[in-house]
Amino acid sequence: MRPSQPPTQNRPRRKPDLTLPLPRRDPSFAVPLPLPPTSNSAPSSSNSANSVSHQTQSPLLLPDLEKVQRIGSGSGGTVYKVLHRPTGKLFALKVIYGNHEDSVRRQMCREIEILRTVDHPNVVKCHDMFDTSGEIQVLLEFMQGGSLEGTHKPHEPSLANLARQILSGLAYLHRRKIVHRDIKPSNLLINSRKQVKIADFGVSRILAQTMDACNSSVGTIAYMSPERINTDLNHGVYDGFAGDIWSLGVSILEFFVGRFPFRVGRHGDWASLMVAICIAPPPEAPPEATREFRSFIGCCLQRDPAKRWTAVQLLNHPFVLQNQIQNQNQNQNQGFQHQLPPPPHQNSSSHG
């Protein structure tokens, strides 16, 4: 017989647990609710492309552009002043001639696509690009004052302001690893508000890649650096950024003296230009110029590209800084001139 169990009547009874666990949510079945619309919400992908490239409420379509007049032409194409009929705004339309191969045209379109993202107050805005019937057409900001070709600015404060604007745009391009390759007075434009802007950046390189060298005009080499004309110089290494600085220096000196600063005309034959640029000593500012301006030109026109100052360095050159302060506060002209550090004329070769 089993032993009798003790009575269980005195054992405390366990209270029943009537609580139920909350069900666990399976995230795979979750359906997010849409957010309410906001006024500053990000645009869709299709709209964002238009907002980046057009910067206008309505897209810029080629049929909406009416040619008003031709404002320039060259070996690579023609530039027209055009009216956007829906908005009444004026633009410049650059038509690049040539029936290019598909691979070349795709490369041109890719590079122009990059140029459409450039946004700086001293760089001409590239609004859009059209590829029609083998012609590349680039829609650009219209500059009412035209180019600075033929400009004579012997007044140094005004010239320094002009140089500062060009250097600001050039420093922006160089920071973005964009080399202009064709800085010259005809590619420096001015608008009705006296803003100076760099034009034809990148497009000149596209043209150089797609045009035969013997068809390019002789005048384009007049502002090229020595090492770009003669590839034997500088051990065959070409620094495009330093090349832009040389071209800037030639242009600024031309504005000051009122003529092409070399002993030969800029439309001279190729051999004469090569001797003047690659063999003869670099041109200098005339003796009547201030020491700051002579130093500025010397920092640009160094034969060794490694010794040329960068755009950022030139923005801090005494010639630019002195006249910038003079323009802002003309009452302090005399006192500030005595506080300037000596221009780096004697040891300019030590700066890169």
Per-residue pLDDT of the chain (352 residues; tens, 9 = 90+): 555 555 555 555 665 554 545 445 444 444 344 444 433 433 333 333 333 344 445 678 999 999 999 998 766 678 999 999 999 999 999 888 776 677 777 777 777 888 888 999 999 999 998 887 767 889 999 999 999 999 999 999 999 999 999 999 999 999 998 889 899 999 999 999 999 999 986 555 555 554 433 334 434 689 999 999 988 887 878 899 999 999 999 999 999 999 999 989 888 888 999 999 999 999 999 999 999 999 999 999 999 999 999 999 999 999 999 887 766 665 454 444 445 554 455 444 444 3
Candidates 182, 239, 269, 304; catalytic one:
182
What's residue 232's pLDDT? 85
What distance in Å separates the CA atoms of residue 46 and residue 320, rounded to the nearest whole number?
Answer: 44
Cα 181 → chain centroid: 11
| Residue 117 CB contacts under 8 Å (≥ 6 apart), including other chains | 52
Axis-axis angle for helices 240-257, 156-175 (nearest 10): 160
| CATH 3.40.50.1110 is right for the domain spanning 61-141 | no
- Helix (H) / strand (E) element for 91: namely strand 89-96
Q: What is the pTM of this model?
A: 0.72
The question of whether 64 is a catalytic residue gets the answer no
Give, in words, the CATH class of 156-350. Answer: mainly alpha
Residue with tokens 């029609």: 132
**Is residue 93 within 8 Å of residue 139, measured between CB atoms?**
yes
Q: Do the annotations mark residue 94 as ligand-binding?
A: yes
**Is residue 148 within 8 Å of residue 158, measured between CB atoms?**
no
Count of H helices and E strands in the chain?
Answer: 11, 7
Reduce the DSSP state of residue 299 to 3 states and report it.
helix
Among 261, 245, 235, smallest CA distance to 307 is for: 245
**Domain extents for the chain?**
61-141, 156-350
Length of the chain as a residue count: 352
